[in-house]
């Protein structure tokens, strides 16, 4: 299962590179293990929410667009893009990898006409995997 966590970190790393912001700060939490509804005793997924912050809003906006452009060129299919259904109508994209069981979701939280004066702008990225079978004997209620 450590392999699955490592793999998720690698995917996040690739996404980070596509965004191309060097000077920002990134949240420290790594991927967590979640059980899958279909069989929570044996199936799990990795879920890695993180965000990029501490840079001007303009940088975040450009990073988001770079991500949107780079994903199709790197084996990802964008399945959703546009303002989401929140009151802020933040730009959101969702993409699935065409080669591996991973999905990435990114939300751009910056000042806009529908969200004036954003005090904590950031680019939120979540990498989620498909469900894997845990090794025989693993107690999934002891994995975090």
Q: Which residues bind another protein (CB under 8 A)?
A: 5, 25, 27-35, 37, 40, 45, 47, 49-51, 53, 79-80, 84-88, 90, 92, 94-96, 101-103, 105, 107, 109, 115, 120, 122, 124, 126, 128-130, 139-144
Rounded to a whole number of angstroms, the minimum distance from the CB of residue 70 to another protein is: 18
Beta pairing, strands 76-83 & 91-97: antiparallel
Rounded to a whole number of angstroms, the minimum distance from the CB of residue 141 to another protein is: 3
Rounded to a whole number of angstroms, the minimum distance from the CB of residue 41 to another protein is: 10
Rounded to a whole number of angstroms, the minimum distance from the CB of residue 87 to another protein is: 4
Query: Cα separation of 82 and 140, whole Å?
Result: 36
Rounded to a whole number of angstroms, the minimum distance from the CB of residue 46 to another protein is: 10
- Nearer CB in complex with another protein: 21/51: 51
19 phi-psi bin (left φ>0, alpha ψ -120 to 50, beta other): alpha
- Nearer CB in complex with another protein: 62/105: 105
List beta partners, residue 108.
91, 123
- Nearer CB in complex with another protein: 22/87: 87
Contacts of residue 51, Cβ cutoff 8 Å, sequence gap at least 6: 26, 27, 122, 123, 124, 125
- Nearer CB in complex with another protein: 18/107: 107
Query: Cα separation of 92 and 95, whole Å?
Result: 10
Burial of 106 (0-12, 13-18, 19+ CB in 10 A): buried
């Amino acid at each position: 299962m450590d392999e699955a966590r490592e793999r998720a970190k690698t995917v996040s790393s690739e996404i980070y590179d596509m965004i191309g912001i060097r000077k920002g700060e990134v949240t420290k939490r790594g991927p967590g293990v979640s059980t899958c509804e279909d069989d929570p005793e044996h199936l799990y997924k990795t879920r890695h929410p993180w965000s990029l912050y501490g840079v001007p809003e303009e940088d975040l906006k450009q990073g988001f667009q770079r991500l949107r452009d780079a994903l199709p060129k790197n084996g990802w299919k964008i399945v959703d893009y546009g303002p989401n259904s929140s009151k802020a109508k933040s730009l959101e994209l969702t993409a699935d990898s065409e080669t591996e069981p991973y999905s990435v979701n990114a939300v751009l939280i910056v000042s806009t006409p529908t969200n004036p004066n954003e005090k904590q702008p950031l680019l939120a990225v979540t990498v989620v995997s498909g469900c894997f079978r845990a090794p025989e004997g693993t107690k999934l209620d002891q994995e975090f």
